[in-house]
C-alpha cells in the first residue's frame, strides 16, 4: 500500500489532468461550415469566430516565455513578470512591516491594559471593517503620491489582524507565567520581553499570517487603481490588451506568490510554537 | 516574645461578594512563625484558603488584614528572597529544562557572567538528576521531571524561604515518593527554610518539623500546631516503623476527618494550640515548648 502522501499526490495529478483536459476541450473553437449557414446566420455574423478563453496549452506556452525571461524591461507597459511581482512584493512588505511596527507594540499595550482596551476598542471596531480600498481617495489626497498611497492601503489593511491578535495573545498569557515573572522580580520591560512576548508569539504570528494574506489580496486591487507597475496593474493592462492568456498566467502567479508568503510565515510559526 | 525568622501576624483575607454589601472571609486570625531552617507543612481541606495564605506569604496577593514579616522586613510584594514552586510546575514551555533554571538564576544574579550562570544552573539540574534531558522542553518531560525542574529552579535562586504549593499533587504515587525522598535529602543538605501546602498526611509527616492544621473554610483558622517529633534523616521506607508514627498519623487523620469542621468554633485565641501527639502517646512530659 502506498503512503497517504503518495496517494494524495497521484490523486492531485489526476484532478489536474482532468481539469486541464476539460478546459482544453471546451475552449476549442467550433468549426462552423460556411456552406451550412443560412443567409440570416451569415448576416448575424455566426461565421465569425467567437472570442474564447484561451486553452491551457496556450497558457503553458506563455508561462514558459514569461518565466524564461522574467526581468526584461521594454518600457513602461512591457516589463517582465518578475519585475511586476517585485514591485508588488516591495509594496506589500513595506506596508506590512510598517503595520507590524505599529500593531505589535500597540497590541501589547491594549493587551496589557484593560483601560486601553476599553478606550481603543470602539475605534478599532469601526475602523476594522472598512474596505482598505475605501481609504485610497483620502490617501491619494493627503499623501499626493500613488506609490505611497498603495503602501498606505496595505498598511491599513494588514494592521488589524496583527493588532487584535497581539492584544488577544498578550491578554491571554497564563497568569502562572506572569506570576513566575513576578516572583523572580523581573522588571515590567523584562517581563514583556522574556515572558509575555514568547508566550504570546504563536498568537501574534497567526495574526501576521492572516495579515500577509489580506495584504496580498489587497495589493492586486490597489495596483489596478493606482497603475504604473505591479502585478495588479499587469493583470489590468493585459485585460486592456485583450491578452487573456497573460491574464490567466498572472492570476496563477498571484496565487503562487501568495502561497509562498503564507508558507514562509507558517514556517516561522512552527519555529516559535511551543507545546504546553 | 522572640521574633522568628518568618512571622505571620493576624492574617485575614476577605473578598467582596458581588452585588451585596458583604464580604466573604476566606480565613482570619492566622498567626504563626517559622524558624530559620525549619520545614513547616500546612494541611487542610480544599477551600480552606491554603493557597491564599501562600499567595500572601509570597507577596503575589496582599492580605486584607495582618502582616507577614520575614527576616525583620514586612512582605509587600513578590521577591526573589521567597522562591515559589507552584502546583502546576509553571515552567516556561518555550524554554528548555536548563534554560528554565537559567531564567531564575539570571534574575537572581543579573551581574553574573553567562558562563557562571550556566554552571550554577547545571549544578542544580544535576542535583535533581536531570542532566540527561537538559535540552528538552517541558512539553517533552514527564510530570515528575517537570516538577523536578521547577524545584531545581527554586533552589537554584537560593531563596531565604521556599514556598511549595502542593508540589506533588498532580503526580502519581510512585513518582511522588521518589521526589519526596529527593526533597528530604536536598533540604537536609541546604538547611532550606520551607513552607509547604499539602493534603497528604504521610507526605507532611515525612517532610515536616511542624504541621499546621487548618479548620474548614470559609472563615478558616489554624486550629493546631502539631510537632513532628521524629528523628531525622527520615526515609519513606523506614519512617513508618518509628515509634509514635501512627499515633501522630492518627491524630492528623482524626483532625481532618472528625474535628476540622468544629475546630473553627473551638479555637478562640489567635495562636494555635501546640500539640505533640508522639510525646503524649508515650506518656512522657511535654517537650521543649516550641512556640515559647
CA distance B101 to B121: 6
User: A199: closest CA among A224, A222, A181, A225?
Assistant: A181
Q: For A111-115, A260-264, B196-200, B280-284, which range has the lowest pLDDT when averaged over its residues? A: B280-284
Cβ of B94 within 8 Å of Cβ of A272? The answer is yes
Cβ of B93 within 8 Å of Cβ of A274? The answer is yes
Indicate if A3 and A130 belong to the same structural domain: no
CA distance B42 to B230: 17
Indicate if A38 and A86 belong to the same structural domain: no
Cβ of A179 within 8 Å of Cβ of B84? The answer is yes
Q: What is the number of structural domains in chain A?
A: 2
Cβ of B80 within 8 Å of Cβ of A184? The answer is yes
Indicate if A86 and A209 belong to the same structural domain: yes
Interface predicted TM-score (ipTM) over 0.95: no
Indicate if A113 and A192 belong to the same structural domain: yes
* Distance from the A190 Cα atom to the nearest Cα atom in chain B, whole angstroms: 10
- Here the CATH number for the domain that contains residue A152 is 1.10.3720.10
Indicate if A46 and A169 belong to the same structural domain: no
Each residue's pLDDT tens digit, B69-90: 999 899 999 999 999 998 887 8
Q: Which residues of B touch A185 (CB under 8 A)?
A: 78-80, 107
Indicate if A36 and A48 belong to the same structural domain: yes
Give the pLDDT confidence score for residue B50 in this predicted structure.
85
Give the pLDDT confidence score for residue B288 in this predicted structure.
43
Collapsing DSSP to helix, strand or coil, B6 comes out as strand
Instruction: Tell me what the mean pLDDT of segment A31-45 comes to.
Output: 72
Choose the mutation target among B51, B56, B75, B78 for the interface with A, i.e. most A CBs under 10 Å. Answer: B78
Crossing angle of the two packed helices A231-240 and A197-226, in degrees rounded to 10: 30
Instruction: Tell me what the mean pLDDT of segment A249-264 comes to.
Output: 96
What percentage of chain B has pLDDT greater than the value 90? 39
- Residue that finishes a domain, picked among A13, A32, A52: A52
Instruction: Tell me what the mean pLDDT of segment A46-69 comes to.
Output: 85
What cell numbers appear for A60 in the block?
503553458
Indicate if A139 and A16 belong to the same structural domain: no
Q: Which residues of B touch A199 (CB under 8 A)?
A: 92, 94
Give the pLDDT confidence score for residue A263 in this predicted structure.
96
Residue A73: CB atoms within 10 A of its CB come to 9
Exposure string (b/e) for A134-167, b if CB count within 10 Å is 16 or more? ebbeebbeeeeebbbbbbbbbbbbbbbbbbbbbb
* Distance from the B80 Cα atom to the nearest Cα atom in chain A, whole angstroms: 5
Q: Within the 259-288 window of chain B, which residues sit less than 8 Å (CB to CB) from chain A?
A: none
Give the pLDDT confidence score for residue B44 in this predicted structure.
86
Indicate if A40 and A71 belong to the same structural domain: no
Indicate if A71 and A42 belong to the same structural domain: no
Indicate if A246 and A173 belong to the same structural domain: yes
Residues from A in contact with B at Cβ < 8 Å: 176-177, 179-180, 182-186, 194-195, 198-199, 201, 272, 274-276
Please name the residue of chain A whose CA is at the shortest distance from the CA of residue B156: A184
Give the pLDDT confidence score for residue B190 in this predicted structure.
86
Mean pLDDT, chain A, whole residue set: 91
Q: Which long-range contacts (CB under 8 A, 24 or more apart) does B199-204 make?
A: B199/B43, B199/B44, B199/B45, B199/B46, B199/B166, B199/B169, B200/B168, B200/B176, B201/B43, B201/B249, B201/B252, B201/B253, B201/B256, B202/B249, B203/B41, B203/B168, B203/B176, B204/B41, B204/B43, B204/B228, B204/B252
Q: Which residues of B touch A182 (CB under 8 A)?
A: 60, 77-78
Class of domain B1-81+161-176+192-292: alpha beta
Choose the mutation target among A176, A180, A205 for the interface with B, i.e. most B CBs under 10 Å. Answer: A180
Indicate if A200 and A94 belong to the same structural domain: yes
| Domain of residue A230, residue span | 55-272
Give the pLDDT confidence score for residue B272 in this predicted structure.
74
Crossing angle of the two packed helices A244-272 and A56-68, in degrees rounded to 10: 70
Please name the residue of chain A whose CA is at the shortest distance from the CA of residue B154: A184
CB-count burial class (<10 Å; 0-12, 13-18, 19+) for B17:
exposed
Choose the mutation target among A174, A178, A183, A205 for the interface with B, i.e. most B CBs under 10 Å. Answer: A183
- Residue that finishes a domain, picked among A52, A73, A90: A52
- Which among A176, A180, A198 has CB closest to B94? A198
Indicate if A82 and A48 belong to the same structural domain: no
Each residue's pLDDT tens digit, B207-234: 999 999 988 877 888 888 888 888 888 8
User: B85: closest CA among A94, A80, A184?
Assistant: A184
Backbone torsions φ then ψ of A7, nearest 5 degrees: -60, -40
Q: Which residues of B touch A180 (CB under 8 A)?
A: 86, 90, 92
Please name the residue of chain B whose CA is at the shortest distance from the CA of residue A194: B103
Each residue's pLDDT tens digit, B270-285: 567 788 887 776 665 4
Cβ of A183 within 8 Å of Cβ of B82? The answer is yes
Q: How many CB pairs under 8 A join A and B?
A: 55
Collapsing DSSP to helix, strand or coil, A128 comes out as coil
Please name the residue of chain B whose CA is at the shortest distance from the CA of residue A270: B94
B24–chain A Cβ distance below 8 A for any pair: no
Cβ of A183 within 8 Å of Cβ of B78? The answer is yes
Cβ of A199 within 8 Å of Cβ of B157? The answer is no
What percentage of chain A has pLDDT greater than the value 70? 95
Amino acid at each position: 500500500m502506498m503512503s497517504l502522501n503518495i496517494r494524495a499526490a497521484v490523486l492531485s495529478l489526476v484532478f489536474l489532468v482532468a481539469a486541464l483536459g476539460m478546459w482544453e476541450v471546451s475552449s476549442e473553437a467550433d468549426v462552423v461550415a460556411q456552406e451550412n449557414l443560412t443567409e440570416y446566420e451569415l448576416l448575424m455574423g455566426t461565421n465569425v469566430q467567437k472570442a474564447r478563453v484561451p486553452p491551457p496549452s496556450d497558457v503553458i506556452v506563455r508561462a514558459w516565455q514569461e518565466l524564461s525571461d522574467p526581468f526584461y524591461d521594454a518600457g513602461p507597459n512591457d516589463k517582465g513578470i518578475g519585475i511586476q511581482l517585485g514591485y508588488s512584493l516591495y509594496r506589500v512588505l513595506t506596508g506590512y512591516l510598517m503595520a507590524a511596527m505599529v500593531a505589535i507594540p500597540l497590541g501589547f499595550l491594549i493587551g496589557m491594559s484593560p483601560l486601553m482596551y476599553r478606550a481603543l476598542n470602539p475605534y478599532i471596531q469601526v475602523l476594522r471593517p472598512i474596505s482598505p480600498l475605501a481609504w485610497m481617495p483620502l490617501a491619494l489626497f493627503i499623501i499626493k503620491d500613488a506609490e505611497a498611497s498603495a503602501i498606505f492601503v496595505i498598511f491599513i489593511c494588514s494592521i488589524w489582524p496583527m493588532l487584535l491578535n497581539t492584544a488577544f495573545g498578550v491578554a491571554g498569557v497564563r497568569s502562572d507565567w506572569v506570576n513566575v515573572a513576578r516572583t523572580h522580580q523581573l522588571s515590567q520591560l523584562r517581563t514583556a520581553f522574556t515572558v509575555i512576548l514568547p508566550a504570546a508569539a504563536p498568537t501574534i504570528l497567526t495574526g501576521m499570517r492572516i495579515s500577509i494574506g489580506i495584504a496580498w489580496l489587497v495589493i492586486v486591487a490597489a495596483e489596478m487603481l493606482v497603475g504604473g507597475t505591479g502585478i495588479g496593474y499587469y493583470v489590468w493592462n493585459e485585460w486592456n490588451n485583450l491578452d487573456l492568456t497573460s491574464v490567466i498566467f498572472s492570476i496563477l502567479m498571484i496565487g503562487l506568490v501568495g502561497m509562498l508568503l503564507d508558507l514562509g510565515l507558517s514556517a516561522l510559526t512552527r519555529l516559535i510554537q511551543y507545546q504546553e | 516574645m522572640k521574633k522568628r525568622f518568618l512571622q505571620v501576624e493576624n492574617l485575614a483575607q476577605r473578598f467582596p461578594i458581588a452585588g451585596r454589601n458583604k464580604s466573604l472571609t476566606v480565613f482570619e486570625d492566622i498567626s504563626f512563625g517559622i524558624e530559620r531552617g525549619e520545614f513547616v507543612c500546612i494541611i487542610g481541606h480544599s477551600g480552606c484558603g491554603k493557597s491564599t495564605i501562600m499567595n500572601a506569604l509570597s507577596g503575589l496577593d496582599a492580605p486584607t488584614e495582618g502582616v507577614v514579616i520575614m527576616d525583620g522586613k514586612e512582605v509587600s510584594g513578590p521577591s526573589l528572597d521567597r522562591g515559589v514552586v507552584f502546583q502546576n510546575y509553571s515552567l516556561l514551555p518555550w524554554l528548555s529544562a536548563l534554560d528554565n533554571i537559567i531564567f531564575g538564576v539570571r534574575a537572581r544574579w543579573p551581574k553574573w557572567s553567562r558562563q557562571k550562570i550556566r554552571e550554577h544552573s547545571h549544578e542544580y539540574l544535576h542535583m535533581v538528576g536531570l542532566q540527561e534531558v537538559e535540552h528538552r522542553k517541558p512539553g517533552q518531560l514527564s510530570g515528575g521531571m517537570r516538577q523536578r525542574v521547577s524545584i531545581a529552579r527554586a533552589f537554584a535562586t537560593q531563596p531565604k524561604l521556599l514556598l511549595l504549593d502542593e508540589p506533588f499533587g498532580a503526580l502519581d504515587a510512585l513518582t511522588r515518593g521518589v521526589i519526596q525522598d529527593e526533597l528530604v535529602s536536598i533540604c537536609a543538605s541546604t538547611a532550606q527554610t520551607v513552607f509547604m501546602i499539602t493534603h497528604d498526611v504521610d507526605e507532611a509527616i515525612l517532610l515536616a518539623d511542624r504541621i499546621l492544621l487548618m479548620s474548614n473554610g470559609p472563615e478558616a483558622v489554624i486550629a493546631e500546631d502539631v510537632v513532628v517529633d521524629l528523628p531525622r534523616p527520615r526515609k519513606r521506607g523506614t519512617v513508618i516503623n518509628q515509634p509514635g508514627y501512627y499515633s501522630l498519623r492518627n491524630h492528623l487523620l482524626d483532625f481532618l476527618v472528625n474535628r476540622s469542621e468544629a475546630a473553627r468554633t473551638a479555637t478562640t485565641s489567635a495562636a494555635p494550640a501546640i500539640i505533640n501527639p508522639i510525646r503524649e502517646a508515650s506518656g512522657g512530659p511535654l517537650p521543649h515548648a516550641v512556640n515559647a
